């Protein structure tokens, strides 16, 4: 093989590796950030909880610490999220809605989401106590109390309504009455049915 042919092969191999690495980085970026993202529309906001949803529980969420986002993912799902994460506050709230392309996709996402919450809580040295009676709504549901050193410190809720998956993670407060959880989720599920029948 001539030196010029070897040099071309090396350059092409190098460019191929660089191109593959760039593709992996791009895929990772879009997997985390989504294909497109921005503020949610008014209709999308009705699919997740708001700070006002917690008013009747005497919980004041600081509006300056609230982040609302909407993103479309590579797998054609659309995620809307409400997050309250405030330095100096004991209360953390993450409410999400994932609109899946099909009911089958939503079922798979339900299983993955519940597994992810179980793993995440275990990594955080806490435990989940399943409490199915807290969430008697939706097509599929998962409800649990987060316990740390035996004390309740929060909740995890995941409920599928058709092809929409709703989730709620709260810490710093917890819900142990089904009527309170029903009050939180009933408007979200009604909105899911309305927007995605």
Residues in the chain with pLDDT values less than 70: 1-36
pTM, two decimals, is: 0.81
Alpha-carbon distance 85 to 95, whole Å? 12
* 25-83 tens-digit pLDDT: 544 444 444 456 899 999 999 999 999 999 888 888 888 899 999 999 888 899 999 99
Determine the pLDDT at residue 18. 55
Dihedral (CA of 50, 56, 57, 62) sign: positive
Predicted confidence at residue 7, as pLDDT, reads: 45
Predicted local confidence at residue 122, as pLDDT: 85
Cα–Cα distance for residue pair 8/156, rounded to 1 Å: 56
φ/ψ of 126, rounded to 5, equals: -120, -175
**pLDDT score for 36:** 65
Q: 47 and 80 in contact (C-beta within 8 Å)? A: yes
Q: What are phi and psi of 124, to 5 degrees?
A: -80, 15
Spans of all domains in the chain: 1-33, 36-195
Q: What is the pLDDT of residue 88?
A: 82
**36-195: CATH number:** 3.40.1000
Distances (CA, A) of 40 to 31, 46, 80, 81, 140: 19, 10, 7, 9, 25
Element (H, E) at 98: strand 92-99
């Amino acid at each position: 093989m001539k030196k010029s042919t070897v040099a071309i092969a090396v350059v092409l191999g190098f460019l191929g590796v660089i191109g593959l690495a760039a593709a992996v980085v791009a895929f990772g970026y879009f997997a985390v950030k989504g294909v497109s993202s921005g503020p949610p529309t008014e209709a999308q906001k009705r699919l997740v909880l708001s700070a006002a949803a917690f008013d009747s529980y005497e919980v004041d969420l600081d509006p300056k610490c609230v982040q609302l986002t909407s993103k479309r993912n590579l797998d054609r799902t659309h995620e809307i999220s409400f997050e309250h994460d405030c330095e100096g506050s004991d209360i953390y709230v993450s409410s999400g809605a994932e609109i899946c392309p099909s009911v089958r996709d939503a079922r798979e996402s339900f299983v993955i989401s519940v597994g992810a919450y179980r793993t995440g809580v275990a990594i955080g040295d806490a435990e989940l106590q399943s409490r199915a009676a807290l969430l008697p709504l939706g097509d599929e549901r998962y409800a649990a109390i987060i316990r740390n050193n035996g004390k309740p410190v929060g909740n995890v809720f995941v409920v599928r309504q058709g092809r929409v998956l709703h989730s709620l993670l709260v810490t710093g407060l917890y819900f142990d009455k089904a009527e309170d959880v029903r009050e939180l989720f009933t408007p979200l599920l009604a909105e899911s049915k309305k927007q995605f029948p």
